Structure 1
Amino acid sequence: MKVSTKWLNEYVKVDDIKPVDLGEKIERTAVEVDDVSRREDGQKKIVVGHILECVPHPNSDHLHICQVDVGEEEPYQIVCGAPNVKKGQNVIVALPNSWIAGHVKIKKGKMRGEISMGMICGLQEIGFPDKIVPEEFSDGIYVLPETAIPGDSIFDYLGMNEDVIDIDITPNRGDMLSMRGVAYEVAAIYNRNVKFPTPQVQEDADLHIEDYLTLDATSNDLVSPYKVRMVKNVKVKPSPLWLQRRLWNAGIKPVNNVVDVTNYVLMDYGQPIEAYDFDKLKDKEIKIRYASNGEKLTTINEDKIELKESDVVVTVNDEPISLAGIIGGQETSVTEMTQNVVLCAAKYNPSLVRKTARRENIHSESSQRFERGINIQTIQEAIDYAVMLVSDLCEGDIISDTLEINQEQEKNVNIEITSERINKVLGTSLCDEEIIDIFERLGFKTSKDELGTLIVNVPSRRWDIQIPADLIEEVARIYGYDNIPTILPIMPLTEGHYTKSQKIIRSARKLLESSGLTQAISYGLTTETKAKRFMLAESETTQLDFPMSSDHTTLRMNLISGLLDDVAYNQARKVNNVALYEQGRVFIRNKDQERPEDIEYIAGALSGLFHEATWHDDKKVVDFYLVKGIVQHLLNSLGITQNISYIATDEFEEMHPGRTAKIFINNEFIGLIGEVHPNLLKELKIKTTYIFELDLQKIIELPKDNEIYIPISKYPEIKRDMALLVPNNITNEQIVKTIKKNGGQYLVDVKLFDLYQGKNIDDGFKSLAYTLVYSDNSGTLNDEKVNDAFNKVTDKLKEELNIKVR
């Protein structure tokens, strides 16, 4: 919101305050200020010139030689290449040794052999952005009114000597999206009075709007209220310079006197005004309704949009003529041929406007105000002011009365609060009179009952204030944040600590990092295809209604997809050895759930070498058993040491069918481990990659084995080795489980130290060798006890697993 201090001064006295100081005060008290500027800064010697003569340049097919009266005794000869330069025009002239925008110095010189005493300028060359330059002058010089006096400084004519404060309005302060709203705020800050002109509408008593138009709305939820007025016999033409100056300094492009009036009222009152060419309305009933899927609308910007059933449109003859509260349609727009104008003011449903604006990616000055709130108190006054200005500037006749539907009454809010409460929150010692004075400066009528409670009447223009806490904030900022004493709060201290879940989550991260993995953080949003991969539980997808991009449309249901993207990113940059993990939440939703449940997961992805060769160690290539060891170490360190099983599976189409296993704890499925399918590796353009993913929430909830300190035995261990001929269908896990079950009380460890398949081993068999370690903390073991226990193990292996002891 760009605020001209000259315009603001018409409503509240600020000409005695330096603009920089005013901007700083607004920033300290109300909202952020982006900039305080004056367009003339850095420019000089730019004046009004009158073209006395304009002839073609003899040595150019596009240049002209102009004799220009710049208020001196003799005219200046200036060479100009603008296509619209003509004799008799009043133009902008940069004199020799002048400075224009961009710190460009204009000197006397020659162009194609002809002397040029300066430059005839377009608006862009003296600092006006392209977006606010009128279309007719966008590719040429700007032509001033006939009343401009040659030699006068151009800065006053174009409003370049006005200070403009660019304020950044927060969503809760939509009331400041208008000059009048800013005036109220500045008046409260400096304890000054505001004065606003009241429109005086001269209507044609013989003409009544009911004879021309009717109104209808399919629901009060769409718009409330909607007001229509009409002006006949208008003459559409460029706006007077005073109005163009106002719009330029507000950052708006002048179009014509009707459209400029609607934009002027928008900036003045914060009330968007819709303007239609009455003679282009095929039917005389204006209706506000939801759009139908597939309906088309061509906007005033010539964009063709396809409407959805959630969009709200203004229609005539059941055909959309504008996207309500956002942008008008081209078919009924006001042009130079318009003779009768319909003006509409409304308060649309802010939620519907916001959704449509975001979906269609059309964000206008109007939609911004409807989204943040409209002052219902001034809707009628704003449309009256608009028809008055249209009548004055377009020489039209105002038709009597206002056509309206869904009239909504002004609703002031009464809030009760006490001085004690305000002082307790702010740490101040303000008395009732000081607090009441602050409320009165804000325009809030305040009374006090017999119990000392303050009853504050908040006008509808401050719709952001609804509860006592809002009033406390108003007192704080008007009183001055710098004036509030700095006092440390007095409260009982409690020792902070992590919850059980937080401790396990942090331990899991540290364990994986100590194992050599690096933490990665991925987006919680992904594509629907990636969200459905590697799922540990059945779930419905959760889609965003208004995604920011096509790559972030769906809440993730796994962590692996994000990690694989990270692997692809690294390998595309020649980082081939990757070991990453991520701990985060996935979002699981059942069919009968409206909102998903967020669940803690932990996952890893490894590719290439786990570590490279050194002078004393061989390189270690990532494989299934390396990843399994990391997972086993993680689970064991978290206190889960028993009943962990890995069952081969081919259920996951994203995984290699022969190198993938499901992980179970106490027969409960908690995760997945294995190699990514070659087809998916090819799609992602990555090398062989192994992954694991665990439901960390289930792991947190599982019972844990407590670590018990056991002193190192003072007595020697006894070891026994066994070599087994094992069928291929028997797993190491089955063998170890049988050994531990039957090994007796002195068996303390079982280690697999050899695996062999090949020569001298029958097909369908493998040779496994184990070391069994026996120890007794209470005394020295003898061979007889160990041999008995060892023999029992071998007998059970033969009996239960059909294994031959070699």
Structure 2
Amino acid sequence: MKVSYQWLQEYLDLDVDPRDLAEKIARTSVDINDVYSLSDGLKKIVVGEVIECKNHPDSDHLHICQVDVGEEAPIQIVCGAPNVQAGKKVIVALHGARIADNQKIKRGKIRGVESNGMLCALQEIGFSDKIAPKDYEEGIYFLPNDSQNGDSVFKYLGMDDTIIDTDVTPNRGDMLSIYGNVNDIAAFYRLKPHFKELAVKEESAEKTADLVQTDIEDSQIAPTYKLRVIKGVQIADSPLWLQIRLWNSGIRPVNNVVDVTNYILLKYGQPLHSYDYDQLPAHNFGVRHANEGEEFVTLDGDEQKLKETDIVVTVNDQPVALAGTMGGQGTAVNDNTTTVALEAAIFDSVMVRKQARRLDLHSESSMRFERGINPATVETALNEAAEMIKELAGGTITAGIVTGSEAPAVDKSIKLSLTKVNHVLGTKLTMDQVEDIFDRLAFDYHQDSDDQLTVIAPARRWDISIAADLYEEIARIYGYDNLPSTLPTMTRNRGGLTPRQRFIRASRHDLEGMGLTQAISYSLTTVEKAKQFQITPLNEPMKLDFPMSSDHVATRMNIISGLLNDVAYNVARNVENVALYEQGRVFLPKGDERPEEQEHLAGAVTGQLVANSWNKKDQPVDFFQLKGIVERYMHNMGIAGQISFVPTTARPEMHPGRTADIKIDNELVGFIGQVHPQTAKEYKIPETYVFELNLEALLATPKIENEYTAISKYPSITRDIALLVDADVENATIVKAIKQKGGAFLKEVHLFDVYAGSHLPVGKKSLAYTLTYQDNNGTLTEEQVNSAFDKVTTFLKDKVDAEIR
């Protein structure tokens, strides 16, 4: 909230530098975004009076003005504003002045005519379009007729005020009002607030109940709902003092009725809404849930399609406002309004928050309804607003208030122990000091014993409900800086990582060592992407009720889709070689229960793993390179089970001929392969290879502990063997068979040649292997190696019907 220092001084005898006050608020109440004045960075901007205005001889839109700026003679200024005219007081930037965006004004000639300054619009001296009055959007601003020529404009426009921009936390909704800020500041400066309330004067014998009716059937939606009527109003601009109050608080002045409702909102934190009484379809007000699909046009001209979770204010069951959020276009106060129906209410904070978020209609009113409203000042705010409208717009206030519902302002009684206070805060406060703090906060209390105190938290502080809340109040008013610094009592425990943490950290280090770079993707994605690339396919993912964007509506059930988004991001920026991995959680729905969270590891590679070199040809990544990375990772992690790669065509997002399930002892733990060309096209990426592993399964599988064996000092013996086998026989089957019969001295099996084509029978292929034998305890003989080798050849003939070449 933008808090005016001068407005605070109306209710408090403040003699503190505004920046010191802001620092005190930050240490005691809420955070501070900024402390500034609208005049910061501006100079030599004064009041001027246009004495004469005539058309420029060489332009159809410029004017030559003689302007009195309090000097001996008027100065000449060329101005292009369409509304400039003689006899008006204007904002003048003199020669050498600094205006918005640090622009310097100099003398010069405009189409041959000398100009000694500039006549300014509000935007040109730092006002944003959001707060500048609409009446002056197309031209310069006119100052009051009683402003003195040559005086600085800052005091006339409230630009000499200091604004303290507070960042209010959700629990301190009371600080979204001048009333709440005054109460808090008075407490920590030991001041006595002197609030000024305007008493309502009902001068009409006509009863409000004869003009409007209301019946709130569901008091949960609208715990409080009240109406007043003001007849015979005349819509006009608000007086300048009121406009200054509003634009210094970041609100655009509109007219005298709307400006009063915004003024009361800022003063009391109580949103009000004004209706053009004569434009209402009827006069029986209600509040209800919207009908599914019901349409409503809001003040900004947008047509909203409502849901049952939304709440609306109705007249004759027709929506006239989104409750707590925004009014309707057809019933807004306009220049022709003569009778105003004024509404003050409290709406359910949760419903308003959800409605404002879903429709993206965040307003000053919804911000306050979301954080809470003081029930004790609803009627006070309504009465004061009615009286102000009568004073500024004329008219008469009808007799009485029509009440549809009313939540009582309930003060909370909380028992407090002095011993517990000192124990929690680490202080040695006396009962007199604690009572003094509650006196400063204007909380009633009574002492039950030497140690016990009963504190009455007023309704205006709805964030206080338990003793712990009072501990906080005591601490912040006493001063956080005054609390003693003590070290906590701790036991000494030996730190370290759990086995799970070590495994996950080792996984990251291992993949980084093989050339992959870590990526971190969003855990939220689209429903379509969440359902892709699952290790074990499931149905629908878990969806968010109120997603922030259409791209983040469901929790992910795979990591690959996020990595492919990262690949696409890099490829779109001409990064051709991308090798990424990510370790993170996926969320697997389990009906009405909490989703199962699994730790997964995934990788995505496109382009080349090894950069080009003068002595190496380009080698784009393929299935076998990525398979080698996965195999090396499994080996380094000490996976003890039998690892197998089983071809599959059951994954629609993967290439049917270049995809394999990864299994450990026949249990599915992941998959690897090329992204299907059609899927790659959808992601806008080139040929890309991916893998994903379920780390929960890897963590659960048995591990090989680190073993260290001495390198054999005895020579090894190799034997080569070439096999002619059917084309559908896999290398893994042959290697398994060789190891099964290779004997105790077989150390390694290496495939060094594959051939298929001419000179071989149809449906056959040739595979050549090198078998390495070595004994750690002695020198092998030819007889030992030949015997073991013969067993292998015999077994291969029987096992895979191989022909030894």
Same fold (TM over 0.5): yes
- Cα distance in 1 for partners of 2:126, 2:2 equals 16
3-state SS of paired residue (2:536): coil
Partner of 2:12: 12
Amino acid at match of 2:526: T
**SS state of the match for residue 293, structure 1?**
coil
Name the structure 1 match of 2:496: 497
Following TM superposition, by how much is the alpha carbon of 1:580 offset from its aligned partner in structure 2, in angstroms?
1.7
Identify the residue that residue 81 of structure 1 maps to in structure 2: 80
Offset from partner CA, 1:719-768 (integer Å, 9 cap, x none): 44433322222222222223333344444443333333345432222233
Supply the distance in 2 between the matched residues of 1:750 and 1:774 (Cα, whole angstroms): 9
Q: Are 1:341 and 2:326 matched, yes or no?
A: no
Tell me the equivalent position of 2:624. 625
Aligned to 1:569: 569
Q: Which residue of 2 aligns with 1:281?
A: 280
Which deviations, in whole Å up to 9, do the C-alpha atoms of 1:301-348 show, x marking residues without a partner?
223322233221112132221111111111111112111111111111
Deviation at 1:261, TM superposition (A): 0.3
In structure 2, the partner of 1:679 is 678
- How far the C-alpha of 1:419 sits from its partner, in A, is 3.7
User: What residue number does 2:639 align with?
Assistant: 640
Q: Is the 8 A contact 1:54 1:65 kept in 2?
A: yes
Structure 1 partner of 2:486:
487
- What letter corresponds to residue 340 of structure 1 in structure 2? T
Q: Which residue of 2 aligns with 1:401?
A: 400
Pick which of 559-568 and 103-112 moved more.
103-112
Show the counterpart of 2:801. 802
> How many angstroms apart in 2 are the aligned matches of 1:267 and 1:41?
24
Say which SS state the counterpart of residue 491 (structure 1) adopts: coil
Deviation per residue, 1:210-235 (Å, 9 max, x gap) = 11111133522322111111111111
Are residues 155 and 688 of structure 1, via their aligned partners in 2, closer, same or farther at CA, if it must alter by over 3 Å?
closer
CA contact under 8 A between 1:612 and 1:618: conserved in structure 2? no
Aligned alpha-carbon RMSD (Å): 2.7
Q: Look up the equivalent residue of 1:249 and give its one-letter code.
A: N
> Deviation of residue 12 (structure 1)?
1.5
What is the distance in 1 between the residues matched to 2:389 and 2:241?
A: 15
Partner of 1:662: 661
Q: Tell me the CA shift for residue 463 of structure 1.
A: 2.0
Aligned counterpart, 2:456: 457
- Give, in angstroms, the shift of residue 128 of structure 1: 2.5
- Counterpart CA distance in 1 for 2:707 and 2:93 is 90
Please give the secondary structure, in 2, of the residue aligned with 1:767.
strand
1:6/1:682 Cα in 2 relative to 1: closer, same or farther (>3 Å)?
closer
Query: Which stretch of the first structure deviates more once superposed, 363-372 or 119-128?
Result: 119-128
Query: How is 1:693-704 mapped onto 2 (pairs within 5 angstroms)?
Result: 693-704=692-703
Q: Is this contact kept in 1: 2:66–2:75, CA < 8 A?
A: yes
1:651 aligns with 2:650: yes
Matches within 5 A, 1:413-492: 413-450=412-449, 452-492=451-491
Residue of structure 2 equivalent to 1:513 = 512
**Structure 1 residues 554 and 84 mapped into 2: Cα distance closer, same or farther (>3 Å)?**
same
Q: Residue deviations 1:96-118, cap 9 Å, x none?
A: 66554455555666655666565
Distance 1:790 1:417 in 2: 89
With 256-265 and 133-142 compared, the bigger mean Cα shift is at 133-142
Moved more, 620-629 or 280-289: 620-629
Query: Which amino acid in 1 is paired with 2:157?
Result: L
Offset, 1:800: 2.9
Q: Is the 1:635–1:641 contact (alpha carbons within 8 Å) kept by the matching residues of 2?
A: no
Structure 1 residues 293 and 752: CA distance shift in structure 2, 3 A: same
Partner SS state of residue 130, structure 1: coil
In 2, distance between residues paired with 1:89 and 1:126?
18
Match of residue 589 from structure 1: 589
SS of alignment partner, residue 156 of structure 1? coil
Percent identity, please: 52
Equivalent in the alignment of 2:360: 361
Report how far residue 30 of structure 1 moved. Answer: 2.0
Distance 1:208 1:638, change over 3 A: same
Distance in 2, matches of 1:178 and 1:34, equals: 16
Q: Deviations over 1:463-491 (max 9, x none)?
A: 22333333333333322233333333231
Report the CA distance between 1:446 and its aligned residue: 3.6
In 1, the alpha carbon distance for the partners of 2:426 and 2:342 equals 51
Residue 152 (structure 1) shift: 4.8
Cα separation, 1, equivalents of 2:662 and 2:583: 18
Question: What code does the residue aligned with 2:216 have?
Answer: A
Distance 1:513 1:100 in 2: 55
The 1:239/1:769 distance shift into structure 2, 3 A limit, reads same
Partners of 2:204 and 2:611 in 1: how far apart?
94
Match of 1:186 in 2: 185
Equivalent residue for 2:313? 314
Aligned mates of 1:114, 1:583 — CA distance in 2 = 71
Distance 1:178 1:625, change over 3 A: same
Q: Which amino acid aligns with 1:208?
A: K
Q: Which string of whole-angstrom CA distances, capped at 9 and with x for unpartnered residues, describes residues 428-463 of structure 1?
A: 333333233223322333444336134332222222
Give the deviation of 1:550 after TM superposition: 3.0
Once residues 735 and 110 of structure 1 are traced to their aligned partners in structure 2, the CA distance between those partners, rounded to angstroms, is 93
CA distance in 2, matches of 1:72, 1:376: 56
Show the 5 A alignment for 1:72-471.
78-94=77-93, 100-104=99-103, 118-150=117-149, 152-204=151-203, 206-450=205-449, 452-471=451-470
Q: Distance in 2 between matches of 1:650 and 1:311?
A: 47
Residue 25 of structure 1: how far off its partner (Å): 1.6
Alpha-carbon shift at residue 612 of structure 1 (Å): 3.8
CA distance in 2, matches of 1:791, 1:41: 95
Shift of 1:47: 4.4
Of 29-38 and 366-375, the range deviating more from structure 2: 29-38
What displacement does 1:77 show? 5.5
1:541 partner letter: P
Between 1:493-502 and 1:753-762, the stretch displaced more is 753-762
Aligned-partner Cα distance in 2 for 1:305–1:209:
32
Q: Deviations over 1:549-575 (max 9, x none)?
A: 333333222121222222233333333
Give yes or no for contact 1:259–1:275 (8 Å, CA) kept in 2: yes
Matched residues in 2 for 1:463 and 1:568: separation?
A: 50
Q: Distance in 1 between matches of 2:633 and 2:25?
A: 56
Q: Counterparts of 1:611 and 1:388 in 2: how far apart (Å)? A: 79
User: How far apart are 1:72 and its partner, in Å?
Assistant: 5.7
Shift of 1:89: 3.2
Instruction: Tell me if the contact between 2:232 and 2:396 (Cα under 8 Å) persists in the aligned partners.
Output: yes
One-letter amino acid of the structure 1 residue matched with residue 802 of structure 2: I
CA distance in 2, matches of 1:598, 1:149: 71
Cα deviation, residue 503, structure 1: 1.4
Deviation at 1:535, TM superposition (A): 1.4
Shift of 1:70: 4.9
Structure 1 pair 95–693 and aligned structure 2 pair: CA distance change class (3 A): closer
The TM-score with structure 2 as length reference comes to: 0.93
- Alpha-carbon distance in 2 for matches of 1:617, 1:118: 71
2:550 matched residue in structure 1: 550
DSSP 3-state at the match of 1:300: coil
Task: Give the secondary-structure state (helix, strand or coil) at the position aligned to 1:630.
Answer: helix
What are the residue-to-residue correspondences of 1:31-110 with 2, within 5 Å? 31-44=30-43, 46-66=45-65, 68=67, 70=69, 78-94=77-93, 100-104=99-103
Instruction: Give the residue type in structure 2 aligned to 1:317.
Output: N
Gaps of 5+ in 2: none
Deviation, 1:277, is 0.8
C-alpha displacement of 1:610: 2.3
Deviation of residue 271 (structure 1)? 0.7
Q: State which drifts further: 200-209 or 47-56.
A: 47-56
Q: Which amino acid aligns with 1:324?
A: A
Unaligned runs of 5+ in 1: none
Question: Which residue number corresponds to residue 3 of structure 1?
Answer: 3
**Matches of 2:105 and 2:607, distance apart in 1:** 64
Count of matched residue pairs:
804
Tell me whether 137-146 or 3-12 shows the greater mean CA deviation.
137-146
Decide whether the 8 Å contact of 2:640 with 2:702 is kept in 1.
Answer: no
Give the distance between the partners of 1:569 and 1:491, measured in 2 at CA.
48
Letter in 1 for 2:578: V
Per-residue CA distance 1:219-270 (angstroms, 9 max, x = gap): 2232211111111111111111221121122121111110010010011001
